[in-house]
Amino acid sequence: MTLEEWLEPVFYDSTVHTWDLSQATGVPHNLDDDLCRAALATLISINESADMRSAGVFLQAKDSQSDDPVDQLIAYTGRTAIR
Protein backbone atom coordinates (compact mmCIF):
# COMPACT_ATOMS: atom_id res chain seq x y z
CA MET A 1 0.00 0.00 0.00
CA THR A 2 1.33 3.42 -0.87
CA LEU A 3 1.21 6.38 1.49
CA GLU A 4 -1.38 8.02 -0.76
CA GLU A 5 -3.57 4.90 -0.69
CA TRP A 6 -3.42 4.90 3.11
CA LEU A 7 -3.94 8.63 3.57
CA GLU A 8 -6.80 9.00 1.13
CA PRO A 9 -9.43 7.26 3.26
CA VAL A 10 -8.18 8.45 6.67
CA PHE A 11 -8.10 12.21 6.12
CA TYR A 12 -11.45 12.28 7.90
CA ASP A 13 -9.59 11.64 11.16
CA SER A 14 -7.73 14.95 11.20
CA THR A 15 -10.89 16.72 10.02
CA VAL A 16 -12.98 15.37 12.90
CA HIS A 17 -10.20 15.95 15.46
CA THR A 18 -9.84 19.53 14.24
CA TRP A 19 -13.47 19.96 15.23
CA ASP A 20 -12.80 18.21 18.57
CA LEU A 21 -9.94 20.59 19.38
CA SER A 22 -12.08 23.55 18.37
CA GLN A 23 -14.79 22.46 20.79
CA ALA A 24 -12.29 21.90 23.59
CA THR A 25 -10.55 25.25 23.17
CA GLY A 26 -13.38 27.47 21.99
CA VAL A 27 -11.41 28.41 18.87
CA PRO A 28 -13.34 28.47 15.57
CA HIS A 29 -12.68 25.35 13.51
CA ASN A 30 -12.85 27.04 10.09
CA LEU A 31 -13.44 23.66 8.43
CA ASP A 32 -14.16 23.80 4.73
CA ASP A 33 -17.63 22.61 3.69
CA ASP A 34 -16.29 20.58 0.75
CA LEU A 35 -13.72 18.91 3.00
CA CYS A 36 -16.46 17.94 5.46
CA ARG A 37 -18.69 16.61 2.67
CA ALA A 38 -15.80 14.48 1.40
CA ALA A 39 -14.98 13.29 4.93
CA LEU A 40 -18.60 12.29 5.51
CA ALA A 41 -18.78 10.42 2.20
CA THR A 42 -15.56 8.61 3.08
CA LEU A 43 -16.82 7.66 6.54
CA ILE A 44 -20.10 6.36 5.15
CA SER A 45 -18.19 4.28 2.61
CA ILE A 46 -15.78 2.89 5.21
CA ASN A 47 -18.56 2.15 7.67
CA GLU A 48 -20.40 0.09 5.05
CA SER A 49 -17.46 -2.30 4.80
CA ALA A 50 -16.21 -2.18 8.39
CA ASP A 51 -18.77 -1.30 11.04
CA MET A 52 -16.87 1.34 12.96
CA ARG A 53 -19.63 1.76 15.51
CA SER A 54 -19.58 -1.82 16.73
CA ALA A 55 -15.77 -1.60 16.81
CA GLY A 56 -16.09 1.34 19.23
CA VAL A 57 -14.57 3.92 16.90
CA PHE A 58 -17.71 6.05 16.79
CA LEU A 59 -20.82 6.40 18.88
CA GLN A 60 -24.28 5.96 17.42
CA ALA A 61 -24.95 8.63 14.81
CA LYS A 62 -26.96 11.63 15.94
CA ASP A 63 -29.88 12.85 13.86
CA SER A 64 -28.73 16.03 12.16
CA GLN A 65 -31.49 18.37 11.11
CA SER A 66 -28.88 20.75 9.72
CA ASP A 67 -27.88 21.26 6.11
CA ASP A 68 -24.43 22.35 7.27
CA PRO A 69 -21.76 19.83 6.15
CA VAL A 70 -19.77 20.25 9.38
CA ASP A 71 -22.85 19.54 11.49
CA GLN A 72 -23.68 16.49 9.36
CA LEU A 73 -20.15 15.08 9.66
CA ILE A 74 -20.03 15.60 13.41
CA ALA A 75 -23.49 14.11 13.91
CA TYR A 76 -22.47 11.06 11.90
CA THR A 77 -19.59 10.42 14.30
CA GLY A 78 -21.96 10.60 17.27
CA ARG A 79 -20.50 13.78 18.67
CA THR A 80 -22.54 16.62 20.12
CA ALA A 81 -21.56 20.25 19.69
CA ILE A 82 -21.15 22.45 22.74
CA ARG A 83 -22.79 25.73 21.82
Dump pLDDT digits (tens) for 3-55.
Answer: 887 887 788 889 999 999 999 999 999 999 999 999 999 888 877 666 666 66
Torsion sign, CA atoms 55, 48, 32, 73: negative
pLDDT of residue 31: 97
Report the alpha-carbon angle 48-51-52, nearest 5: 115
Q: How much is the pLDDT for 68? A: 96
Asked if the model's pLDDT at residue 67 lies above 90, the reply is yes
Taking the whole predicted model, whether its pTM rises above 0.85 is answered as no
pLDDT in the model for residue 28: 95
Q: Where are the domains of the chain?
A: 3-21+29-76
Nearest to 33 by CA among 73, 69, 71: 69
Angstrom distance (rounded) from CA 42 to CA 9: 6
